[in-house]
Structure 1
Amino acid sequence: MTLRDVLAWHVLPASLVEVLVEGDLPSAFGRLLIFAPLALEKGASLAFCGPSGSRWTLAVAKVAVSYVLREHHADAAPLVIVIGCEATPEGAACLTAWFKPCGVPVFRAATIEAVRVIMARKGSARPVLLDLPDGGIYAPGGRAFVHEVIE
């Protein structure tokens, strides 16, 4: 199968397929997509979710560190918190290890009630990054937890 065949199979518009098949794919995406720094506002929440292995936890880490480097001052408390919503403690432990040098607190919330408690205690000015579990759309009830957390 060619790249054109694969993109057509995913039902991309023909005009987009034409742009993407010109040259190499990374260059085509570079021409189409412009990424600005993510402006995480004080008090806002941002959730990351995707299939296992899609590196959304790494995206959480990059956003958190970027925010801390931009906003954190030596005399201020950490301005962002991270909530790891995984059923296993390993994910939160990994996040904790990544963020310890930056002073970013990480909380594990394997239940909706745990997320509610953390959000109620966080303070209104602190942004929150949520590292959600695999929201597999094909698994039975796969997105139910994700939708509840977002609500």
Structure 2
Amino acid sequence: MIEDVLKWHSIPTPIIESLAGSDLTTGIDRVLNFGDLPLNDGRPLAFCGASGSGKTLSLSKLIANNICATSTNTLVLACDRTPGSYAKISSSLNGTSAEIVDACYPGAVIEPYLYNPAGRQILIDLPGVCIYAKKQMSEVMDIVDRTKAHLVLVIPAGMDPEEAADISAAFIERGASHMIASRLEQSGRIGSVITAGACGLTLTYGSYSSSLNKGFSLLSPGILARRLLNLP
């Protein structure tokens, strides 16, 4: 029964076998790592992922839900060059205390903003990227290298699990260690989330709503087990 459910979510067979041998919650706890984001350690967090993965909304939710311990002293570097991206993030964070810097244009000077007084948390909205496009990846990693940021990968529910594995492996190779699961309210299948976590990323927050102020909390083995078993 459980194996059939996991197959329905398109979870790869080796991961299904790793989850076997106990109840689902225990299996998930054994196979996946859970934790919080590395906030307030003096380094920026850079949100990365494919275009449309929900990284901008995830970043905005982190601020809007006051998850940053220094939420009154947060700087956002908006580096996504997609048309309308800066306007979108500015609108979503209107009414918060976050300072937003437009760094969407080529050659944007961002180094002066990296000074970190009084524990200011810096969040970076990276351009959406195709991992197979070398130029795109090079541009993204140039920003990461210049800012010395932690890479936080955003993986949406409903993505093909094999694609999620490829994206996770590519960003892990470049230093990513944490992930956020997005669009959990939009897809019945969440095999992509399980697969990305099984690649070695620490699962942190899950986004369950397109609303800025709702549906954003830390994931746990129990939460994922219930979500897997809750079939449409």
Partner of 1:87: 81
**Structure 1 vs Structure 2: percent identity of aligned residues?**
28
Q: Contact 1:89–1:108 at 8 Å: present in 2 too?
A: no
1:61 aligns to 2:60 (yes or no):
yes
Q: Residue 121 of structure 1 corresponds to which residue in structure 2? A: 113
Unaligned runs of 5+ in 1: 9-13, 73-77
Give the number of the structure whose residues are more often strand, by fraction.
2
Deviation at 1:28, TM superposition (A): 6.6
Partners of 1:96 and 1:105 within 8 A in 2: no
Shift of 1:47: 0.6
Aligned CA distance change for structure 1 residues 3 and 57 (closer, same or farther; 3 Å): same
CA deviation map 1:13-53 (0-9, x unaligned)? x3x3225579xx99975775464443411632011111112
Name the residue aligned to 2:103: 109
Higher Rg of the two aligned structures: 1
Q: CA RMSD, aligned part only?
A: 3.4
The answer as to 2:2 corresponding to 1:3 is no
Higher helix share: 1
Deviation string 1:115-134 (CA, Å, 9 cap, x unpaired) is: xx333135323221111112
Q: Secondary structure at the match of 1:43?
A: coil
Equivalent position amino acid for 2:103 in 1: A
1:144 corresponds to 2:148: no
Q: Distance in 2 between matches of 1:111 and 1:29?
A: 42
Shift in CA distance, 39/121, structure 1 to aligned 2, threshold 3 Å: closer
Aligned equivalents of 1:67, 1:119: Cα separation in 2: 25
Q: Kindly indicate whether the alpha-carbon contact (under 8 Å) linking 2:56 and 2:125 is maintained by their aligned counterparts in 1.
A: yes
Report the CA distance between 1:81 and its aligned residue.
0.9
Contact 2:82–2:127, Cα closer than 8 Å, also in 1:
no
Q: TM-score, normalised by structure 1?
A: 0.69
Provide runs of 4+ in structure 1 moved above 3 Å. Answer: 19-22, 25-37
* Closer/same/farther in 2, CA of residues 19 and 120 from structure 1, 3 Å limit: same
| Cα deviation, residue 100, structure 1 | 1.8
User: Counterpart of 2:136 in 1: which secondary structure?
Assistant: coil
1:143 match: secondary structure: helix
* Distance across 2 between alignment mates of 1:146 and 1:102: 27
What is the TM-score normalised by the length of structure 2?
Answer: 0.48
Q: 1:40 to 1:6 in 2, by over 3 A?
A: closer
Q: Deviations over 1:59-89 (max 9, x none)?
A: 2112223345x434xxxxx411111112245
